[in-house]
Amino acid sequence: MLYEKVLNLPVMTKETRIEIKGFSIFWIVIFATVPLMYLIQYLLGQDSGVSFTVIVLNWLEILPYFILFCIHNFLLAPLFFKKKRILYLLLSTALFVAFSVYILATIIGPPAGADGMVEAPPGERRPFSPEVMKVVIGALLILVNLGFKAMVRSAENERKAQEFRAESLAQRMETLRYQINPHFFMNTLNNIQALVLTEPEKATECISEFSKLMRMVLSEGYTALIPLDKELRFIGHFVALMRLQWPESVEISFESPESACDAMVPALAMMSFVENAFKHGSKSKQGDFVKIAVSVEGERVVFRCSNRCGPMAMSAGPSEGGVGVSNVRNRLELLYNKDYTLVCSTVSDVYEVYMSIPAHPEEGSL
């Protein structure tokens, strides 16, 4: 919405809006019930008048529950869904203990007897005092709040999974169009044809790398997530093919981790930027370069790519380089929500891409 953009607030999902509306209606009904009950009693002749002071006192009794709900809903419950379960349990326990102490401290029981013991009315058993029942209601409020948020979270994940499946269908053609486009295939085949007559051994190497590249495109191009080591092999074949075609004066480097640590990454997302670096990179003067680096840093996969821009790329600008940045960003949004970083920038005549994504996406996010 407009106010979210103006205030730079995170855009709320459909499910989050439903959750906020549901909780708002719930508390409006709770607070509105108090004056409504007095009004009904007055209309039925059971009460001589409606006292605003009494209504306010009833609202003050409800207020601790409202404060308990707000603290739990907006501050503590998010910790539970961010996998910080121990911290959530500790803080929730502390909150509930503080609430219980406050409620029990307001006990005004029946008068004590001569021996100082509280005397219950004859024949009446009170296994649960009203204050204890208030504490129980507070506990139920926390549990219901957490359960409702879990239902909303589940519905949101299911919606994202459906959106991702629909997006994947559209991405099949987009993948070939933006990441390994026909222009690249035609240029590669033409270069191989020229090498067949002049450098047959080099042409054989190109054909070998080109076939490996094609095989991986057909087998992995339509999968949402693939192991990082497969993506690295794909980039490696592509870089090897480019080295055979580009002048030796251009510095081409590709750094990758020794161990992929079972990391999973979006298929061909990195490859999109690598292909773009070669497509729009400069290779006509001394000092031109294409540098690619992939690393596993803790629980995140970090991708860096930089190249010296050619004249056409400089005139187009960083956002129009044909890389399909918006497509990649949409895929990352569906896979990781907000838990990713993608920065594309041009400094002088050097185009740089920085991407950081979770090495192991949260289970159930797809």
Q: Which residue do the tokens 């999974």 mark?
A: 161
pLDDT of residue 182: 60
Of the candidates 289, 189, 182, 298, the residue with the CA atom closest to the CA atom of residue 243:
289
- Quick one: fold of 179-358? Heat Shock Protein 90 (3.30.565)
> Residue 285 and residue 291: Cα distance in Å, rounded?
16
Cα 230 to Cα 237: distance, rounded to the nearest angstrom: 11
Q: Which residues contact 259 (CB under 8 A, 6 or more apart)?
A: 296
**Predicted pLDDT of residue 204:** 86
Low-confidence ranges of the chain (pLDDT < 70): 1-11, 47-50, 106-128, 165-184, 187, 216-223, 310-324, 362-366
For residue range 191-200, list pLDDT tens digits in order: 788 778 888 8
Q: What is the pLDDT of residue 105?
A: 77
Q: Are 107 and 126 a contacting pair, CB within 8 Å?
A: no
Q: What is the pLDDT of residue 282?
A: 83
The CA distance from 345 to 360, in Å, is 27
In this predicted structure, what is the pLDDT of residue 65?
93
* Structure token pair of residue 332: 């990352």
Tokens matching residue 234: 């794909």
- The pLDDT value recorded for residue 293 is 96
- What residues does CATH 3.30.565.10 cover in the chain? 179-358
pTM over the 0.75 mark? no
Q: Provide the pLDDT for residue 6.
A: 43
Residue 315 has a pLDDT of 52
Residue 63: what are its φ and ψ, rounded to 5°?
-55, -45
pLDDT of residue 357: 95
Torsion, Cα 81 85 87 89, to 10 degrees, reads 110
Q: Residue 27: what pLDDT? A: 93
Q: What is the pLDDT of residue 118?
A: 47
Query: What local confidence, expressed as pLDDT, does residue 28 receive?
Result: 93
- Cβ atoms within 10 Å of 112's Cβ, excluding its own: 10
Q: What CA–CA distance (Å, rounded) separates 178 from 171? A: 10
